[in-house]
Chain A
Amino acid sequence: MLIINCPLCGPRDHAEFTYVGDATKNRPKNGDSSNDNAWYDFVYLRDNPKGLHEELWQHSFGCRCFVKVLRNTLTHEIIATGMPKDNLILKEKGLELNV
């Protein structure tokens, strides 16, 4: 089991959350239909990093907020959590990606 610290509700079991996906992907602007690659990247391309990874979870049994989770895929350690707009990796400067 993982315990995810919901920025609003506090630490909760991961069973209260629904995994949404990779939080590092940016949706191309709605009006922007010229950039095929950007859409392809947003919809399909997913890395499978060993080490730190930003993920999006929804606290579906709680406040229903989407929560950004910085997780180490190697150890399952959750290093930080925040709201979708937060950049957790910057916040945890001391840590390098893909450790």
Chain B
Amino acid sequence: MTEVNTSKNSLRRQSGLAHVINYGQFGNVTLNGPSLFICERHPLTILQLDTNKSKTLTDISNLLNVEFPHTNTCNGDDKRRILWLGPNRWLIVEPEHECLQTLINNEFNSSEVFLTDLSHGKSTVRLRGRNARDVLMKGSGVDWHLNSFGADYCAHTKLFDLAATVDCRDIDVFDIYIARGFAEDFWGTLVDAAAEFGYQVD
């Protein structure tokens, strides 16, 4: 389990993957070391934002300092990411930041922008390494080729038979969002698919 801000919290708050993650190196790890690195990202603030007012969007983007991305893409930096989810709908993700929702709500009219907190509803796994795309290819029919799905692309797809959102953070770094209730099953499938390449769980 990932460390949470306060010691009090760590007793109380538990990720959907808390009971399934084993740390270390597994699978076909060669002398060159593992070619995949898998870890959970937790806790995160995951906020869904709906608005069809472009002016509001510009204002929020100024407030957050991140542009709202177009269809099938993401924007952001190491900390804050905004993912396109669907028409007039985005997902804002960042390491836990409780006041993000308050921050936006204070600045904007609640009839113009609609926020839904999904921080606990999704489990997030980061898949990194030179075979990361090979693992994604096993689970989904999206074209994961670098030329079609490069950095800052995102896809909402059926990954290993589960609804997943995949954010390409960098050429070989992917953040995968999955419904919390399926997290344990997803983890099992993911590491099974990764075993032939050798992986390390951090």
Contact = CB atoms under 8 A, between A and B. Distances in A.
Whether A and B touch (Cβ < 8 Å) is answered with yes
Interface of A: 8-13, 15-16, 60-65
25 contacts: A8-B72, A8-B86, A9-B71, A9-B72, A9-B156, A10-B72, A11-B143, A12-B142, A12-B157, A13-B141, A13-B158, A15-B141, A16-B158, A60-B163, A61-B156, A61-B157, A61-B158, A62-B155, A62-B156, A62-B157, A63-B85, A63-B87, A63-B156, A64-B86, A65-B86
A12 B141 CA distance: 7
Given A8-B71, A8-B72, A10-B72, 16 more contacts: A9-B71, A9-B155, A11-B143, A12-B157, A13-B141, A15-B158, A16-B141, A16-B157, A16-B158, A61-B156, A61-B157, A61-B163, A62-B157, A63-B86, A63-B87, A64-B86
Closest 8 pairs between A and B when the two form their complex, measured CB to CB: A63-B86, A13-B141, A61-B158, A62-B156, A16-B158, A61-B163, A8-B71, A64-B86
A79 to B, nearest CB: 21
Contacts of B158: 13, 15-16, 61
Contacts of A65: 86-87
Contacts of B87: 8, 63, 65
B200 to A, nearest CB: 29
A65 B89 CA distance: 12
Interface residues of B, number: 13
Contacts of B143: 11
Interface string B134-173: 0000000111000000000001111000010000000000
A10 B145 CA distance: 14
Contacts of A15: 141, 158
B145 to A, nearest CB: 13
Contacts of A61: 156-158, 163
Interface string B103-143: 00000000000000000000000000000000000000111
Nearest to A62: B156
Interface string B47-83: 0000000000000000000000001100000000000
Contacts of B142: 12
Contacts of A8: 71-72, 86-87
A34 B195 CA distance: 64
Contacts of B141: 12-13, 15-16
Nearest to A15: B158
B2 to A, nearest CB: 28
A92 to B, nearest CB: 23
B149 to A, nearest CB: 10
Nearest to A16: B158
A61 B71 CA distance: 16
Contacts of A64: 86
